[in-house]
Each structure stands twice: as C-alpha cells, then as structure tokens.
Amino acid sequence: MTNNLKEYARAVAAATDETLQGLLPAEGIFPVSIHQVMRYSMFAGGKRIRPCLLMASHQACGGRFGDEQALQACAAFEMFHTFSLMHDDLPCMDDDDFRRGKPTAHKAFTEALAVLGGDALCIHAFGVLARIGRVDIISETADALGTGGMLGGQVVDIESEEHAVDRQTVEYIHHNKTAALIRASVRTGALLANATAGQTERLSSYGTHVGLAFQVVDDILDEEGTTEQLGKDAGSDREKGKATFPSVCGMEESKRYATELIEQAHADVRPFGEQGAMLRELASFIHTRIS
C-alpha cells in the first residue's frame, strides 16, 4: 500500500467510524443486548473498503472529501456489509466461530442476537439512506443486496459447498455475493456527487471489476497466502469445500484473470484523470496483495 493510499484509507476509516458512532444507538439504550451486538460487530476491525471506494468515487466525480451525505452513505454501506457477515457466519450457514481473530457475533452473544442484530443493521442502514433523501440510491441498493445481488450470491455459495461447480457458477457467486455491494458503494459515491450518466456507468463497470478482482485475489490468498494477509485462516475455503476460482480454473488462470480485472478497472477510470487517482491506487493495491 502506498503511503498516499494508506493515509487516505486511514482518514476514510476514521471519518466512517466517527459517523457510525453517531448513528448507532448507544450500548446503554434499552434493549441493551442488541445494541451491544450491533456495535461489537461494527467495530470488530473491518477495513472499511466499501467506504474508501465510495468516497474515492465521490471525489472522482467532483464531490468533496468528507462530505456529510457521503459519510452517512459510507456508514450505511458498512452496516449492510456487517449485516451480511453476521448472517454468513451463523451455524446454519458458514458456521464460523472467529472473524479477524475475534469470536463471531453468535459466539460472543447468542444466535438469536446475531440474527436480530444483523437484521437491525440492515434496517438501520435503510433508515440512514432514507434520511439522505435519495430514493434512487435506496432502490439501487435494495436491488444490489437482494436475490438478484448479494443474497442470490450467498444462496448459490451455500448450495455449491461440497459440490463440483463450474467456472460460470463461481463467477456468478463472486459477481453477486461480493461485487454487487461493492459496485453499489461506488455508484452511490457517484450519484451523491450528481455524476453524469456516463460517469456513473464507467464507475459501475469499475466497481464490478474491482469487486470481482477483490474476491478472486481473496481466493488465491486462501490457497497461497498467510493468515495475516488474509485476515482469516488460510485454506479455510478449501476445508469447507467452497467454490473458489483456483479450484475451478487453477492458480495460473486465476492470477491471469485477477490481472485482467485490475487492468479493466484501470481502463474504466482513465477518463477521470487526476480526480480518479485514488480509485486507480485502490485497484492496484488489491493486485499487490498477490504480486
């Protein structure tokens, strides 16, 4: 990570966390347990990648760094992401006891609180988006999260476990489970800057390419990386019989594909010139994790 990017990521994460602190109900508010599990999961060490992409996209379209509406959206997208992790980790899904070295929500609290706490973050995030006042963003985000997006990817991911799957299925899972919400974050940054249709279209494509690259690189690191690089146990996907890119295409093709996706992401944002510099750096950073 370049110093430039490191500083940027740190600044976005700090501003997002401050916004989240203000938006999430305090832990002492009745009923205490659900507010505790919400905050526990939101502040469990997430890297705030979606907020970084949202803010960088916002700036690429002429928006101001730290714009209040953009920060509210950053917080909302991080809530959506955390909601999905809380439900993914449940015993009836991926059955993960740890995430980033900390007990998952249902281990630290109860299964009921992990379900309801996830529900609450999702619902609260829609409330935050509503108070920004843009129904277009709410409508798009609901589509990105629903069965034609993130949840669809999650269903196929679960149903593909321990089954022989083809490349098309893995692409479907990554495209929906991971890339759909990343694309929506990038699009939201653009829409809040009142980007042109052409700009939004290019950033949409960038979001898809970066989202897919992010997941393919994650798959590669699961095979080759260290637990530290990955933020979770290396090899855990294979142990669970997860459909991954290397498992269907081999390592060489996976790396070639990741490189191609990053090149496409770079091409998508070329017309933004200097204003798109951070988006290019973010894409490059994903690639450096495997090179």
| The binder of a copy of itself chosen from 2, 4, 139, 194 (CB under 8 A) | 139
* Cα distance between residue 106 and residue 204, in whole Å: 34
The yes or no reply on residue 152 touching a copy of itself (CB under 8 A) is yes
| The binder of a copy of itself chosen from 26, 30, 168, 239 (CB under 8 A) | 30
| The binder of a copy of itself chosen from 113, 216, 221, 279 (CB under 8 A) | 113
List alpha helices for 95-244, DSSP H. 105-108, 111-132, 135-145, 150-160, 167-173, 180-192, 197-224, 227-230, 236-239
* Nearest distance in Å: CB 113, a copy of itself: 7
The yes or no reply on residue 27 touching a copy of itself (CB under 8 A) is no
Q: CA 33 from chain center: how many Å?
A: 26
The yes or no reply on residue 142 touching a copy of itself (CB under 8 A) is yes
Which one of the spans 2-10, 110-118, 253-261, 276-284 is the region binding a copy of itself (CB under 8 A)?
110-118
Q: Which is nearer to a copy of itself, 150 or 278 (CB)?
A: 150
Dihedral sign of CA atoms 97, 160, 77, 25 in order: negative
* Cα distance between residue 282 and residue 279, in whole Å: 5
Provide the 10 A C-beta neighbour count for residue 136.
10
Q: Which is nearer to a copy of itself, 33 or 236 (CB)?
A: 33
* 8-state DSSP, 103: E
Grouping H, G, I as helix, E, B as strand and the rest as coil, residue 224 is: helix
* CA angle in degrees (0–180, nearest 5) for 205-261-189: 35
Name residues contacting a copy of itself, limited to 118-137 (CB under 8 A). Answer: 118-120, 122-124, 126-127, 129-131, 133-136
Q: Which two tokens stand for residue 291?
A: 């090179």
* Nearest distance in Å: CB 232, a copy of itself: 20
Q: Which is nearer to a copy of itself, 56 or 79 (CB)?
A: 79
* Nearest distance in Å: CB 205, a copy of itself: 23
Residues 6+ apart with CB under 8 A from 4: 281
| The binder of a copy of itself chosen from 62, 146, 250, 271 (CB under 8 A) | 146
* Cα distance between residue 164 and residue 279, in whole Å: 36
Q: Total binding residues for a copy of itself by CB under 8 A?
A: 48
Which one of the spans 14-22, 32-40, 218-226, 250-258 is the region binding a copy of itself (CB under 8 A)?
32-40
In contact, 89 and 114? CB cutoff 8 Å: yes
In the complex, the residues that contact a copy of itself under the rule CB under 8 A are 25, 29-31, 33-35, 38, 87, 90, 92-93, 110-113, 115-116, 118-120, 122-124, 126-127, 129-131, 133-136, 138-139, 142-143, 145-148, 151-152, 154-156, 158-159
